[in-house]
Amino acid sequence: MATTKLDKAAWQQTFDQLSKSLLVGKEVEIEVTGLRIGDQIEQEWIQLLGVSYDPKSDLIQILVEGLDHLIPKPREVWIDHGPIGLASMEVINDDDLRQIIRLREPLMLPYSG
């Protein structure tokens, strides 16, 4: 796997591109970790609808089924590519909270019709 830090100037375009192509139909798990709050799973394997960055509000939005996970004032974004594309993303905000977004393909059950 290759982990790379995204340049802030590329966040909006990268997330827009990922949302349109690679991420649709994937499932995500969102973990939030920090010294003050410990380690918490926010969402466990739920359908991902998209990722966006609004430079005016300085806000990353992870759009999942039934919830919008907001990350205010992001400072760093790291992406990790695996053998089949984007495997995870880590966002560190101004409060030093780390938001880890893991991705996976949904489980395809065999058809028994």
What's the CA gap between 113 and 102, in Å, rounded? 32
pLDDT digits (tens, 9 = 90+) for 2-16: 799 999 999 999 999
In a domain, residue 60? The reply is: yes
In a domain, residue 20? The reply is: yes
In a domain, residue 22? The reply is: yes
Instruction: Give the type of residue at 45.
Output: W
pLDDT digits (tens, 9 = 90+) for 28-81: 999 999 998 999 999 999 999 899 999 999 999 999 988 889 999 999 999 998
| Counted domains in the chain | 1
The predicted structure's pLDDT at residue 25: 73
In a domain, residue 21? The reply is: yes
Look up the pTM and report it: 0.87
Task: Identify the H or E element spanning 14.
Answer: helix 11-20
Helices (H) and strands (E) in the chain, counts: 1, 8
